[in-house]
């Protein structure tokens, strides 16, 4: 982490190579996140490109270099939502997904169902699920990223899991005790 902070500080002073290295280190995670929102390669790449551009032109605005990844993720989420709002309709391109997912021991159909179900969640639930499971972010970091109290993150995560179970037709969903 110390190395990343040094790179962030260099990038903040205008060092383009440092910025490139930072983006390179985060690019795979950012692309996967963009893809989860956009559901197709072309749009995910557009979101990623826009995220990198916005980060590049505003890198000097980072207040705490140790939160670079959080800052960059916030930009990506904001751009993804803006893009989805403009596009209105998200298309799940199963052909691309099936070529992207390795067929080792993965259940491709199950993954497609899960991705489709995640896309049906409301924005808060969708983002919390993506950050928690796909970014392995702890609750505290998700709260910081989304400017949300930890208890709200926990509530959104619990509700998102309930909604996913219902959408995927898993365990019988009972109305009693759950709202």
Class of domain 105-170: mainly alpha
Quote the pTM value.
0.67
Q: Per CATH, which fold does 1-90 belong to?
A: Rna Polymerase Sigma Factor; Chain: A (1.10.1740)
∠ at Cα 104 (99, 107), nearest 5°? 75
What span, in angstroms and rounded, lies between the C-alpha atoms of 19 and 10?
Answer: 8
Question: Could you give the CA distance from residue 56 to residue 19 in angstroms, rounded to a whole number?
Answer: 7
Q: Where are the domains of the chain?
A: 1-90, 105-170
Does 105-170 match 1-90 at the fold level?
no
3-state secondary structure of 19: helix
Per-residue pLDDT of the chain (179 residues), as tens digits, is 589 999 999 999 999 999 999 999 999 999 999 998 888 899 999 999 999 999 999 999 999 999 999 999 999 999 998 888 777 543 444 344 444 444 433 455 666 677 888 888 998 899 999 898 888 889 999 999 899 999 999 999 999 999 988 888 764 444 434 44
């Amino acid at each position: 982490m110390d190395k990343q902070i040094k790179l962030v500080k260099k990038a903040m002073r205008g060092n383009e190579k440092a910025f490139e290295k930072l983006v390179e280190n985060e690019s795979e995670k950012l692309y996967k996140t963009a893809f989860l929102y956009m559901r197709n390669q072309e749009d995910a790449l557009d979101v990623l490109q826009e995220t990198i551009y916005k980060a590049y032109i505003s890198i000097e605005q980072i207040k705490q270099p140790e939160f670079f990844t959080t800052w960059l993720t916030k930009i990506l989420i904001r751009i993804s939502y803006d893009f989805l709002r403009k596009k209105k309709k998200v298309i799940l391109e199963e052909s691309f997904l099936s070529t992207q997912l390795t067929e080792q021991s993965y259940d491709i159909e199950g993954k497609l169902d899960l991705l489709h179900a995640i896309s049906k969640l409301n924005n808060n639930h969708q983002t919390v699920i993506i950050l928690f499971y796909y970014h392995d972010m702890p609750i505290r970091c998700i709260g910081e990223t989304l400017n949300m109290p930890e208890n709200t993150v926990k509530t959104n995560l619990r509700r998102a899991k309930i909604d996913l179970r219902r959408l995927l037709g898993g365990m019988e969903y009972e109305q009693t005790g759950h709202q």
